[in-house]
Amino acid sequence: MNFIKYITVFFFASVLFTSCENEPLDGSIIPDNGTGGGTSTGYYLKVTKDGVAKQWSTVQALNSTPLNSIIITGADNSSSMTLVVHDVYKIGTGVYNLSWAEKSCVYTEGTNIFSSDYSDFNTSAGNITITELNQTNKTIKGTFNFIGKNQAMTATKVFTKGEFYLKYTLQ
């Protein structure tokens, strides 16, 4: 079951990075996050992993309307982070406690995968908080934290101070 979930997450991540249109960004509409941590477009996905700050150079978000879900992905040459929130428009802004296969975080570094959904069907005590969901500008902003475990459940990574601000694409 856990393997199927990982395949689903990677499928959505691959759709994100292959199906989105390239469009010019207007910096006057989407400002930097004000902390100096945003990219030149003002969009970002960053986290502190085991006490070390990490920010991805390529970030995208997908609003899958058939699934009523938001999928946020960041990637670079060595790692990636994927956040998934199903039924986002039923609640809108607010705190989404992580729950098996519906609200999850997955961090990949090389061949190592650390997930908020554990192979014993338990879930990290973390959450994803959506602080802004602007359907006019198609932007989403929020925070997240979790304890990721590898599939064998022999190693953990602690993810704190996670933040994102992205323009999403409707799918």
What digits encode the pLDDT tens for the residues 73-123? 999 999 999 999 988 766 689 999 999 888 999 999 999 999 999 999 999
Q: What pLDDT score does 87 carry?
A: 81
Q: How much of the chain, in percent, has pLDDT values that exceed 90?
A: 62
Reported as type and span, the H/E element at residue 88 is: helix 88-91
The rounded distance, in Å, linking the Cα atoms of 88 and 13 is 18
The whole-number average pLDDT for the span 3-20 is 40
| 129 close to 107: Cβ distance less than 8 angstroms | no
Helix, strand or coil, per DSSP, at residue 129:
strand
pLDDT digits (tens, 9 = 90+) for 110-167: 999 999 999 999 999 999 999 999 989 999 999 999 999 999 999 999 999 999 999 9
Domain that holds residue 78: 2-21+32-170
In a domain, 26, yes or no: no
Q: What are phi and psi of 9, to 5 degrees?
A: -60, -45
In a domain, 107, yes or no: yes
Domain count of the fold of the chain: 1
**Residue 170 half-sphere exposure, CB side, CA atoms within 13 Å?**
7
In a domain, 27, yes or no: no
Distance, first Cα to last Cα, the chain: 26
pLDDT digits (tens, 9 = 90+) for 23-52: 333 333 333 334 444 445 689 999 999 999
Query: Is pLDDT at 12 greater than 90 in this prediction?
Result: no
- Least Cα distance to 129 among 80, 170, 165 occurs for 165
In a domain, 39, yes or no: yes
Q: What is this structure's pTM?
A: 0.77
